[in-house]
A and B are shown apart, each in its own frame.
Chain A
Amino acid sequence: MLFTSYEFILFLVLVFLLYYLIPKRFQWILLLIASYVFYSYTGIRYLAYILLTTISTYLISRLIGELFITQEVYLKENKADLSREERKSYKAKIKKKQRKLLVLCLLFNFGILAVLKYSDFTINNINSVLDLLRTGKNISPLGFVAPLGISFYTFQTMGYIIDVYRGKHPYEKNIFKFGLFVSFFPQLIQGPISRFDDLKDSLFAEHSFDTKTISFGLQRILWGFFKKLVIADRLLPAVITIVGNPDKYQGVYVLVGMFFYAIDLYADFTGGIDITIGVAEVLGITLKENFLRPYFSKSITEYWRRWHITMGTWFKDYIFFPISVSKSMLNLSKKCRKRFGDAIGKRIPVYLATILVWLTTGIWHGAAWNFVVWGLLNCIVILISQECIPLYNRFHSRFKVGHTFYYRLFQVVRTFWLMSFIRILDCYRDVGTTFRMYGTIFTRWNWRDLFNGSLLELGLTMADYMVLLFAVLLILWVSLASRRESFRERLASWPMALRYISYFVLIISILIFGAYGVGYDSSQFIYSQF
C-alpha cells in the first residue's frame, strides 16, 4: 500500500476515525491491528517474516532481561557474602550468557535479512568467479523476494535488543506492545529507524483528540504529498531517461542527471518521511526527525549528520562505537602504535571501523556492487576530509574567509555536488557504466545542449520544468525560513485567512500538479526499496 495511493488515504481515514472513537486504552491495540493489515496488504505471507523477527526478538530480549533481574536479586540476596571479585565474576558470567543470547538473536534476524536480500547477490558473484575460472558450473539464484521494509524493521528491532543487552532500558514485557513497536505502520516502509526508549511513551500512551497536533500532522502529510507528487514523481521520468540510456546521454547530461536525482531523491525521501511523521502526529505519536536541511551541509560529514539521521546514528551507536572500542581493536591499536608510531597507530582502529560502517551502509542500501562502491566512496571522501583538516586550518589561518557568506556558499555547493556525484551510483546499472559516465563529463563537451532545447526531450515539457522550478523554490524558501524557528510554528502565527489560503493553495497544487493517476507511472518511494 503506497502512501500516495487512494487505498492508503482511505485506510488512514478509517484508522483515524476509529482511533479517536474507541476507548483510549485500546488505541495501541488498534494500531497493532492496523499495522498488520497494512503490512499484509503486499502479501499475507510476508507477515510471517515480521512475526518471526518480533517473536524471536521478544523471547530472547525477555531471557536477557530476566538475567538482569536474576543478577540483581542474586547480588542483593548475597550482598554480604560475596566479595568484590565474586560479584564481578558473577556479573561476567551473566554477561556472557546474555552475549550468547544477543549473538543468537542478531545472527538469526540478520541471517533472515541476509538470506532474503543478499543470497542472490552472493550467488551471482560466485557464478562470476566460476565463469572466470571456466569451471562450467553455475549456482541457480534462489529468487527470494525481500519483504517490504525488512531492512528498516530488522535494524530497529536489533537496535532494541542491543539496548536491552546494554541495560539501556528494560525489555518490553507485553509481546503485543513490542509487536507494535516493530511494525508501527507509518514508519514501516522507509523509517525513521526508531529507538524503543524514544518511541514507547508516545506509542503506548492514551491520546486525546487535540486539534493543534492533528492539524500539524495534516500539514506535514500535505507537505510530504507535495514533495513526492509534485516534485519527485514529476522529475523521475527525466532521471530514468538519462540513466537508462547511458550511450545517448553523456557529458553534461550526466551532471543534469546528478542534479535531477539529487532533487528527486530529496523530495521523495523527505516527502515520505514527512508523510510518516505527519501520520504518526495525527495519531498523537511523536517520531524522530530524519532530516535537518541536509543540502545546506558544508561538509560530507555534516551532510551525514543531517541526512537520514536515524540510520546514521544507528550505525554510529551499534557498529562504529562498539567496533572502535572493542578489545580486539584496542589491542590492534596498541600494536600499531608500537610499530608505526602514535600518529598512524591511533588512526587504524578508527579507519577500520569507518570502513566497516560504510561498507555496511552501502550493503544495507542494496544488494549490488553499486552500493558497495557508493559506501566506500563516501568513506574515502570522509577520511580524506579528516586528513585534510590541518591543511584547511592552515588555509583559514592565512586567508580569513571561513566566515564569509561566499565561502560558506562555496562549501554548500561543493558538498551538494560531491554528494550528487557519489549518489548517482544508485542509478546507473553497474559500477562500470557509472565510472564511464563520470569520464564522459570531462571528455564529451555538449554543454550547448543545456540551452538548445535538448532538455525538453527528457520526458518533461517546458510547463513541467516551470512547475518544478516553482515547487523547488518553495521548498528552498521553507528550508531557509526554518533555520531559526519551526516553519509550522511560524505558520501558526499567521492571520487565519492567510493560513487557510496557504493550506488551500497547497492542496490545489497537489491535486492539479501532482504526477499521479493515469498517464503517470506511480512510483514507489525510493527508500522503500532499500
Chain B
Amino acid sequence: MKIKSKRILINISAVSLALLVILFIQELFMPKYMSEIPEGNLVEEYYKEEKKHDVIFVGDCEVFSNISPITLWEEYGITSYIRGSAQQLIWQSYYLLEETLKYEKPKVVVFNVLSMKYNEPQKEAYNRLTLDGMKLSKYKINAIKASMMEDEDLITYIFPLLRYHSRWNDIGSEDFKYIFSKDKQSHNGYLMRIDVKPVGYIPKGRVMADYSFGDNSYYYLEKMTKLCKDNDIELILIKSPSVYPYWYPQWNQQMVEFAKDNNLTYINFLDKAEDEIGIEYDKDTFDGGLHLNLSGAEKFTRYFGEILSNDFGLPDHRNEEEYKEIWQDKVEFYYAMKEDQERELKEYGYLKSYGAVAQSIEGDDKSNN
C-alpha cells in the first residue's frame, strides 16, 4: 500500500514538474513584442492598470495611434484607456469591451467604426496581436471563436506553444529577458510616435459593387449598442481622422443612419480634421496619413476632449488625490518617452526602438485593404 501511494506521489510530482517546464517553455516561446511590433503588447498592458476610467476606447490602430489619454487627462482631467489593437475587428472590440466591463464601468465607450468594413476574419497574424494578450476567460474564448480563420484551432490560443513552437530557431536574448515581465510600451493604450511622414498621394477608393456593411458587422455593432445601454453607458461612434484607408461616403451614411436609429452619437472627424481640429497632414502623421503622430494625436485629442467634457459631462479629476499620483507617473513616463524618441530621431534619423519598421509593415498591410 505504502509503495503504491509512493508511486502515485512520484507520478503526480513528475507530471506537475513536466507541466511546469512546458509552461515555462511556452512563456519563453511567446513573442515579446519589445523591439518590434509594440502593438502586440497593447491588450495585455490593460490588466496591470488601476481600473478607474471614465472613457474606454475600442477599435483598431485609428484609436491606439490617434488618441492620447495623457492629453485628455492634462487638458480636461478625463481618465481614459484605449483597448485598441492592430486591425481589431468589431467582434474583438465587442468582447474586449465585455471583458472590460467585468473590471470597471466607464461613463462613455468610444468605438472607431473603420472595422465595420470587415465582415469576416482577416488574418491570423492580426488575430494573434489582439487575442494572445487577453486573459483566459469566456470573453477570450468567444473572441477567438469569432475571429478564427478556417485553418486555425482554438486550442492554439489556449496553449500558444502549439502556435509559437516554430520560433525555436528564433529564440533570442529578448525572449529570456522579458519572460516574466515586460516594459510598459503604451500610455494607457496609446502608442506614441513622434516622427513625421507627410501625406503624399492618396488613392481614391475603388468603386465597389455593394457598399453595405456586412450582417456580421452590424450584428456586433448592435450587440455593442445593447451592451452599453444595458450598462447605462454612452456609446459614441467615431471615424478617426486618418485619411487612408478610404472612408466612403456610402459607409459614412450607413453609420449616420445607424446612430440615428439607435439614438447614438456618431462623429466623422475626417470632415473636421483640417478646418476644425487643425490637423496638418504634412506634419501630423508618421506614415503618410494612415496614423497620426504625437502632434496630430494631441490636436485630435484636444478637440475630442472638449466634446467629451462639454457634451457628455465627463468630470475633471485633476484635483482628486486618488487620481493625482497615478496620473503623475503616467505623465512623467509620457514625456520621458517623448524625449527619448526625440533623441533617437536625432541620433539615428528614425525611431529605432519604437517599432518604426513594424508600423510601416502594418501601414502597408492596411493600405492593401
Contact = CB atoms under 8 A, between A and B. Distances in A.
Contact of A512 (B10, B18, B153, B168): B168
A517 B165 contact: yes
B273 to A, nearest CB: 38
Interface string B20-33: 01100100010000
B155 interface: yes
B162 interface: yes
A517 B165 CA distance: 9
Contact of A500 (B14, B155, B166): B14
Contacts of B21: 504, 508
Nearest to B161: A511
B161 A504 contact: no
Interface string A498-530: 001000100110011110111110000000000
B165 A518 contact: no
A508 B168 contact: no
Contacts of B166: 517-520
Interface string B118-159: 000000100000000000000000000000000111011000
A519 to B, nearest CB: 5
A518 B18 contact: no
A463 interface: yes
Contacts of B14: 500
B156 A508 contact: no
Interface in B247-277: none
Contacts of A504: 18, 21
A104 to B, nearest CB: 45
A13 B163 CA distance: 21
A515 B168 CA distance: 12
A259 to B, nearest CB: 23
B152 A518 contact: yes
A517 B151 CA distance: 9
A6 interface: yes
A508 B162 CA distance: 11
A454 B193 CA distance: 43
A299 B22 CA distance: 45
B169 A507 contact: no
A518 B163 contact: yes
Contact of B169 (A463, A496, A500): A463
A514 B161 CA distance: 11
A511 B18 contact: no
A326 interface: no
A461 interface: yes
Contacts of B10: 496
B155 A6 contact: yes
A504 B24 CA distance: 14
Contacts of A512: 25, 29, 161, 165, 168
Q: Quick one: which of B14, B29, B165, B168 has the most chain A CB within 10 A? A: B165
Contacts of B151: 518
A514 B169 contact: no
A511 B169 contact: no
A300 B10 CA distance: 48
Nearest to B14: A500
Nearest to B155: A6
Given A504-B21, A508-B25, A514 B153 contact: no
Nearest to A5: B153
Contact of B124 (A513, A516, A518): A518
A331 to B, nearest CB: 60
Q: Quick one: which of A463, A500, A513 has the most chain B CB within 10 A? A: A500
B166 to A, nearest CB: 5
A375 B152 CA distance: 40
Contacts of A511: 22, 25, 161-162, 165
B168 A513 contact: yes
Nearest to A520: B166
A520 B25 CA distance: 21
A461 B169 contact: yes
B22 A6 contact: no
A516 B168 CA distance: 13
Nearest to A464: B169
Contacts of B162: 511, 516-517
A330 B81 CA distance: 91
Contacts of A516: 162, 165
A311 B288 CA distance: 66
Interface in B278-292: none
B18 A517 contact: no
Nearest to A496: B10
Contact of A507 (B18, B29, B124, B152): B18
Nearest to B18: A504
Contacts of B124: 518
Interface in B1-53: 10, 14, 18, 21-22, 25, 29
20 contacts: A6-B153, A500-B18, A504-B21, A507-B18, A507-B22, A508-B21, A511-B22, A511-B162, A512-B25, A512-B29, A513-B168, A514-B165, A517-B156, A517-B162, A517-B163, A517-B166, A518-B152, A518-B156, A518-B163, A520-B166
Given A463-B168, A512-B168, A517-B166, 13 more contacts: A6-B155, A461-B169, A500-B14, A500-B18, A511-B161, A512-B25, A512-B161, A516-B162, A518-B151, A518-B152, A518-B166, A519-B166, A520-B166
Shortest Cβ-Cβ A-B pairs, 4 listed: A463-B169, A512-B165, A500-B14, A512-B168
